Amino acid sequence: MSQESDDLGMAMVVLERLEKERLPRALDLKAKVDAGECLDDMDIAFLERVFADGEDAKPFLARHPEYKELSARVAKLYEDITTRALANEKAQPDS
């Protein structure tokens, strides 16, 4: 298979995963932290997987700048989640 067809397959898988799994879960986490809650171990494990996948996707994104805006918007969502989660943790009386 060529790099182009590999990339097309990867884009399809990543976009489907984003639509059906990652984005709904991220929006749930955003609502959770916006409500003042802290992330649990499963939430943190999810974010760790997302960040690892993001690192793995860097070469693909370098080859396909057309996904740059989408990638930046998704990264901003995860940044907002983690920033708010950290603030919530710091606000806990036992921390």
Instruction: Please check whether residue 28 lies inside any domain of the structure.
Output: no
Task: Summarize the confidence of residues 76-84 as an average pLDDT.
Answer: 97
Sign of CA dihedral 2, 8, 60, 66: positive
Domain boundaries, position 84: 38-95
% pLDDT > 70, the chain:
98
Instruction: Please check whether residue 63 lies inside any domain of the structure.
Output: yes
Q: Provide the domain count of the chain.
A: 1
Full DSSP string of 27-95: HHHHHHHHTTPPP-HHHHHHHHHHHHHHHHHHHHHHH-GGGHHHHHHHHHHHHHHHHHHHHHHHHSTT-
Instruction: Please check whether residue 57 lies inside any domain of the structure.
Output: yes
Q: Is the pTM of this model over 0.85?
A: yes
Higher per-residue pLDDT: 93 or 22 = 22
Instruction: Please check whether residue 68 lies inside any domain of the structure.
Output: yes
pLDDT score of 94: 74
Task: Summarize the confidence of residues 75-91 as an average pLDDT.
Answer: 97
**What tens digit of pLDDT does each residue of 31-54 get?**
999 999 999 999 999 999 999 998
